[in-house]
Structure 1
Amino acid sequence: MKFSPCTDNCTKDGTHCQGCGRSHQEIQSMSAIGVQLLNHLIEYDYDDPEVFLDIVSKKALLRLQKHQQKKCK
């Protein structure tokens, strides 16, 4: 499944947003991750938050690749 970003045409009825097509559960989960990242950035007050976010992204992708490799075996 491809990720579908927000299109600013949000709807709350049904199980999926009519704007982006994602489930409301997925949107809520992603929002919670964003809040956790923001709280971490605020707590530690990094001078270079973009570096932190880049590292988090790279590590998450590496872990996903490892997970997918294990799954294929």
Structure 2
Amino acid sequence: MKFSPCIAGKCTDQGTHCEGCGRTHEEIAETKKMIKALVAYAQLKGYENHEEYALFIGNTILNKLLNPS
């Protein structure tokens, strides 16, 4: 399955799938929950270097997807 990001202004909440990105509303909600948790963690720790934190998280996820253990 290929990931499709949200398309600004085209998201819908009717039916089972978003008409903008094609993902299920359940998948979108789960993704938002994970992102919210990562943001809350950075805020809890008081990180000031937001870009570095976000890049680290993204790069770590990519590395683990490309090199599963």
- Interval containing the TM-score (normalised by the shorter chain): 0.7 to 0.9
1:5 aligns with 2:14: no
* Structure 1 unaligned spans of 5+: none
Following TM superposition, the consecutive aligned residue runs of length 4 or more in structure 1 with deviations greater than 4 angstroms are: none
Partner of 1:35: 36
Q: Count residues with an aligned counterpart.
A: 68
* Secondary structure class of the residue paired with 1:15: coil
Residue equivalent to 2:62: 61
How much has 1:18 moved relative to structure 2?
Answer: 0.9
Q: Deviations over 1:11-69 (max 9, x none)?
A: 222211012111111101110011101101110111201111111111111111122xx
Rounded Cα–Cα distance in structure 1 between residues aligned with 2:57 and 2:32: 16
In 1, Cα distance between the equivalents of 2:57 and 2:20?
A: 28
Q: Report the TM-score, using the length of structure 2 for normalisation.
A: 0.82
Distance 1:45 1:63 in 2: 26
Structure that is richer in helix per residue: 1
Q: Is there any run of 5+ residues in structure 2 with no aligned partner, and where?
A: none
RMSD: 1.5
Please report the TM-score for the alignment, with normalisation by the length of structure 1.
Answer: 0.78
- Secondary structure of the residue aligned to 2:13 is coil
